[in-house]
């Protein structure tokens, strides 16, 4: 029965384990926040508080003391909207009651030995690892620490991502007889070729090129300088003004004749280094942080004595049975997780003017 309510007390136990150790830190932080010349959480005309006042007890739960400074620091961590709800004495009592409830639940969890429960220990380790990685890397590896030269080198090495010519996409019916191509062109420019499906049907019916036929005639996007297609075909493709336009017969000059239908067009794009810099900085920051984390963990592993029993590892049995359904056609399996401490930092919000990752000429 214990495991049914372990999750409910889990966070309380984890935080309570360091509660008493944190009291002095909380008091010091609250004291510093009141000292002249130091940044505060908000503008206040109230005089600074002394250490003696901040160390005054508000509540005592057995051997755990909640001081005025700790209470004040805890409540000031909340958002301005939440803080505004706790200005009266009754509301302050309500917040203090929540701290007392936290402590008595944590004490009961200790009393029942939940600090030794494997699930609690595993969660405690995860919380400690997360804090370790934050302490180790948040100040050392930042987006602002990415050198300008590195960003410029990345931009120059990947210039094709930022400077792209106009591109067009067409589908083609390819035949080896001009008279047949002329007849197919008339059919394709009529009702039969008005829809993409109708044109694909004509490709399957008439085209002699097996490779493109498998793709419904799709030649994919290409620019005006491509060498992968005959020059007359490229010129004719760029001559189609609107998506859906169908060409007359195009003599490719190599014994084949094309009938083309434009299926897409991308405008040219030129993004300067300054325009691309926010996105490049974000990418290099994430790469640098991941590498620093990997190097840190590799160093710890190198200094540890690690023995792996591969024979026993081979005996591990993986349950590959069908996942439990929630009754609405959805699996109840938990999503995969990253190894603790090795996940990338959350993506930074785009800076003003930064383009989102949407293909050129297409909408989200």
CATH number of the domain bearing residue 215:
3.10.50.40
Are residues 254 and 224 part of one domain? yes
pLDDT in tens, 188-212: 999 998 899 999 999 999 999 999 9
Task: Report yes or no on 317 lying in a domain.
Answer: no
Are residues 189 and 105 part of one domain? no
Question: Binning pLDDT at 50, 70 and 90, where does residue 39 land?
Answer: very low
Is the alpha carbon torsion for 349, 354, 358, 364 positive or negative?
positive
CB 69 within 8 A of CB 26: yes
Question: Binning pLDDT at 50, 70 and 90, where does residue 284 land?
Answer: very high
Structure tokens at 317: 């049995």
Range of the domain at 245: 166-267
Task: Report pTM.
Answer: 0.52
Q: What is the pLDDT of residue 208?
A: 93
Q: Distance (Å, rounded) from C-alpha 202 to C-alpha 183?
A: 12
Structure tokens at 15: 């935080």
Task: Report yes or no on 42 lying in a domain.
Answer: no
Q: Cα angle at 102 between 97 and 104, to 5 degrees?
A: 95
Q: What is the pLDDT of residue 85?
A: 86
Task: Report yes or no on 305 lying in a domain.
Answer: no
Number of domains in the chain: 3
Task: Report yes or no on 192 lying in a domain.
Answer: yes
Give the helix, strand, coil percentages of the chain, each rounded to 5.
50, 10, 35
Are residues 263 and 205 part of one domain? yes
Task: Report yes or no on 106 lying in a domain.
Answer: yes
Are residues 17 and 113 part of one domain? yes
Query: Looking at residues 46-53, what average pLDDT do you find?
Result: 85
Task: Report yes or no on 187 lying in a domain.
Answer: yes
Are residues 242 and 111 part of one domain? no
Are residues 287 and 152 part of one domain? yes
Are residues 89 and 20 part of one domain? yes
Domain edge (last residue) among 114, 132, 150: 132
CB neighbours of residue 163 within 10 Å? 13
What DSSP letter does each residue of 298-322 carry, written as one string?
HHHHHHS-----HHHHHT-----SP
Task: Report yes or no on 306 lying in a domain.
Answer: no
Task: Report yes or no on 119 lying in a domain.
Answer: yes
Are residues 229 and 196 part of one domain? yes
Are residues 290 and 225 part of one domain? no
Q: Distance (Å, rounded) from C-alpha 337 to C-alpha 324?
A: 19
Are residues 219 and 202 part of one domain? yes
Are residues 30 and 10 part of one domain? yes
CB neighbours of residue 145 within 10 Å? 13
Are residues 76 and 10 part of one domain? yes
Q: Does the pLDDT value for residue 331 go beyond 70?
A: no
């Amino acid at each position: 029965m214990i495991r049914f309510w372990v999750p409910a007390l889990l966070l309380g136990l984890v935080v309570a384990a360091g509660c008493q150790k944190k009291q002095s830190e909380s008091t010091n932080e609250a004291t510093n926040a009141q000292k002249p010349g130091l940044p505060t959480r908000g503008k206040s005309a109230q005089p600074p508080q002394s250490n003696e006042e901040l160390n005054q007890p508000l509540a005592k739960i057995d051997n755990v003391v909640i001081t005025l400074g700790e209470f004040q620091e805890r409540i000031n961590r909340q958002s301005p909207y939440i803080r505004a709800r706790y200005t009266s004495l009754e509301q302050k009592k309500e917040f203090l009651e929540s701290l007392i409830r936290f402590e008595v639940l944590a004490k009961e969890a200790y009393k029942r030995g939940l600090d030794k429960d494997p699930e609690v220990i595993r969660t405690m380790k995860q919380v400690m690892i997360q804090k370790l990685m934050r302490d180790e890397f948040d100040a050392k590896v930042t987006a602002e620490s990415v050198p300008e030269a590195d960003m410029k080198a990345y931009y120059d090495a990947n210039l094709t991502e930022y400077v792209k010519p106009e591109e067009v996409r067409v589908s083609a019916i390819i035949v080896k007889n001009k008279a047949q191509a002329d007849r197919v062109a008339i059919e394709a420019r009529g009702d039969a070729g008005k829809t993409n499906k109708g044109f694909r049907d004509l490709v399957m019916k008439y085209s002699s090129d097996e490779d493109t036929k498998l793709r419904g005639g799709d030649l994919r996007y290409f620019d005006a300088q491509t060498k992968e297609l005959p020059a007359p075909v490229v010129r004719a493709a760029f001559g189609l003004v609107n998506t859906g336009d169908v060409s007359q017969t195009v003599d490719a000059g190599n014994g084949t004749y094309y009938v083309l239908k434009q299926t897409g067009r991308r405008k040219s794009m030129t993004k300067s280094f300054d325009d691309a810099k926010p996105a490049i900085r974000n990418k290099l920051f994430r790469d640098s942080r991941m590498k620093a984390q990997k190097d840190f963990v590799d160093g710890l592993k190198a200094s540890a004595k690690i023995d792996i029993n591969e024979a026993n590892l081979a005996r591990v049995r993986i349950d590959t049975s069908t996942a439990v359904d929630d009754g609405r056609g959805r699996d109840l399996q938990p999503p995969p997780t990253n190894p603790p401490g090795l996940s990338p930092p959350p993506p930074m919000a785009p800076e003003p003017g930064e383009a989102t990752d949407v293909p050129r000429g297409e909408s989200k």
